[in-house]
């Protein structure tokens, strides 16, 4: 399991510090788990699966796919959550300000933006099709 945890971290391109902070562990604890000198607790296993959308069966046994398949909305929620929790991501502050500004608008202005975004999405989809 230690190698699979290392594979998850590398697949997500996270340092030991960042990986550990997302599941409540220190860099040292992650290092010990990945090296095999300590075993992850049941709570750590569940936290890894929940936080990183990892297939629990794969993590425990190596069988199946590393990550669970997400529905469209779940995938978007995962991306947004990752951006909002990673304060070092260059988009973090921008996304926060976009959301804050949107919710400061009156409902009529929000509706105009909603319509513009719907049109933008439709144009992107049309471009992909042809």
Confidence of residue 19 (pLDDT cuts 50, 70, 90): very high
| pLDDT greater than 90 at residue 95 | no
pTM of the model: 0.60
pLDDT above 70 covers a percentage of the chain that reads 100
Alpha helices by DSSP H, the chain = 2-11, 16-23, 27-35, 42-52, 56-61, 72-85, 92-104, 107-129
What pLDDT, in 10s, does the model give residues 26-36?
Answer: 999 999 999 99
Tallying the residues shown for the chain, one arrives at: 130
pLDDT of residue 78: 77
**Pairwise CA distance, residues 52 & 14, whole Å:** 11
Q: What ranges do the domains of the chain cover? A: 2-61, 72-129
What pLDDT, in 10s, does the model give residues 37-81?
Answer: 999 999 999 999 999 989 999 999 999 999 988 777 877 887 787
CATH number of 2-61: 1.10.260.40
């Amino acid at each position: 399991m230690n190698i699979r945890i290392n594979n998850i971290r590398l697949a997500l391109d996270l340092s030991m510090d960042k990986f550990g902070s997302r599941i409540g562990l220190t860099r040292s604890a992650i290092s010990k788990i990945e090296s095999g000198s300590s075993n992850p607790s049941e709570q750590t296993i569940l936290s890894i699966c929940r936080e990183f959308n990892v297939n629990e069966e794969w993590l425990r046994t190596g069988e199946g796919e590393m990550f669970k398949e997400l529905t469209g909305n779940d995938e978007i929620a995962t991306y947004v959550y990752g951006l909002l929790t990673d304060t070092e991501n260059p988009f973090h502050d921008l996304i926060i300000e976009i959301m804050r500004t949107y919710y400061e608008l009156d409902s009529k202005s929000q509706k105009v933006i909603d319509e513009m975004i719907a049109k933008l999405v439709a144009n992107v989809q049309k471009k992909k099709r042809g």
